[in-house]
Amino acid sequence: MSTATASPITPEHLWTIEEYAARPPSGKPEELVRGRIVTLCQPTRRHGQICYKTVRVLGDFVEERDLGHVLSNDSAVITRRDPDTVRGADVAFYSYARLPKGPLPATYGPEVPELVIEVLSPHDRLPRVLTKAAEYLEAGVLIVVVLDDERRAAHLFGADGTIRLFNAEDDLVLTGVLEGFRCRVGRFFE
């Protein structure tokens, strides 16, 4: 007579940042969210165009003043540990105080940027993007800006609790992170 034995329930494997970084690329956009690999939608051309304009405007300002690094292409930002989360910022600014001058290592690092700019895509839902913005702020990012193409607006969230909406004709200012930076919001969407 044989007896059936129940197979033990094993918990889902939660990936660490180190495991996530060591695996071969899947070829799809992904993030590590609370230990789980989440596949994202491929960004649209419009998304890429807005990111490019943002990098150009921000990058020119930063480079002319030799202030730090501007990164794009979903560069990794570690927002939490245990379980681990690695988010891909559309655009990020790191001052030289947070990330020293020179070529950057080809690894994930503990440093968090002072500024993250996310571009809201048509398939994004605002609550998901707001959750991501909150994660950035909790990790030590000082300002998160969400660019909303549909509304031609910029939503600014500050670590100090500041929440501001800038319309297309308003000048986006980044006080406390990039003093003197001023750009008409509509320029990002032209």
Alpha helices by DSSP H, 26-78: 45-65
Give the whole-angstrom CA distance, residue 159 versus residue 138: 8
Mean pLDDT on 42-62? 95
Residues of the chain above pLDDT 70, percent: 94
Using DSSP's 3-state secondary structure scheme, residue 3 falls into coil
Question: What's the pLDDT tens digit per position in 12-38?
Answer: 889 999 999 999 988 888 899 999 999
- Which residues are within 8 A (CB) of 68 and not within 5 positions of it... i.e. 6 or more apart? 62, 93, 94, 95, 96, 97, 98, 99, 114
Residue 73: other Cβ atoms inside 10 A? 13
39 three-state secondary structure: strand
Q: pTM for the complete prediction?
A: 0.90
Phi, psi of 124 (to 5 degrees): -70, 150
Say whether pLDDT at 8 is over 70.
Answer: no
* Phi and psi at residue 22, to the nearest 5°: -85, -15
**What are 92-143's pLDDT values in tens digits?**
999 999 999 999 988 899 999 999 999 998 777 778 888 999 999 999 999 9
CB atoms within 10 A of CB 160: 9
The closest alpha carbon to 129, from 110, 113, 148, belongs to: 148
Q: Average pLDDT for residues 77-84, to the nearest whole number?
A: 95
Q: For the chain, what is the mean pLDDT?
A: 91
